Amino acid sequence: MMKMLFCGILLGAVAALGSAAQAADALAGKTRAGTCAGCHGVAGISSNSMWPNLAGQQPGYLVKQLKAFRDGSRTDPMMSVMAKPLTDEDIANLAAWYSGLQPSVEE
């Protein structure tokens, strides 16, 4: 009985994670990323060494960092302001967009 309960809980958790990952909309992220392009580049590759490249980053990492900027546990004068109005959906969409981009620009 305990084994069946554990399997049910585990399957429910896996299904929830899968649906959350599928819920992200990379095209909506691309639209939202217009405000990010000034620092992080249109293709997620920054032209300034002060700002990180976002192209090809792991989506979980991007979500974690944007939420940290939004809630104030990570601070930066620009990013704290930029992340404040983002919803969880915006963040998931941005992560989907940037994680799908190539991490380097071909010469």
- Map out the domains of the chain as residue ranges: 25-99
The pLDDT, as a whole number, for residue 8 is 54
- Model confidence pLDDT, tens digit, residues 13-65: 444 444 444 579 999 999 999 999 999 999 999 999 999 999 999 999 999 99
Q: How many helices (H) and strands (E) does the chain have?
A: 6, 0
CB proximity list for 14: less than 8 A, separation 6 or greater: none
- CB 46, CB 38: distance < 8 Å: no
pLDDT at residue 95 above 90?
yes
Contacts of residue 54, defined as CB under 8 A and 6 or more positions apart, other chains included, come to 36, 40, 44, 46, 62, 98, 101
Confidence at 2, pLDDT banded by 50, 70, 90: low
pLDDT at residue number 17: 44
Choices 3.30.420.40, 1.10.260.40, 3.30.750.24, 1.10.760.10: CATH for 25-99? 1.10.760.10
The C-alpha atoms of residue 80 and residue 77 are separated, in whole angstroms, by 6
pLDDT of residue 58: 98
Q: What is the mean pLDDT of residues 54-79?
A: 98
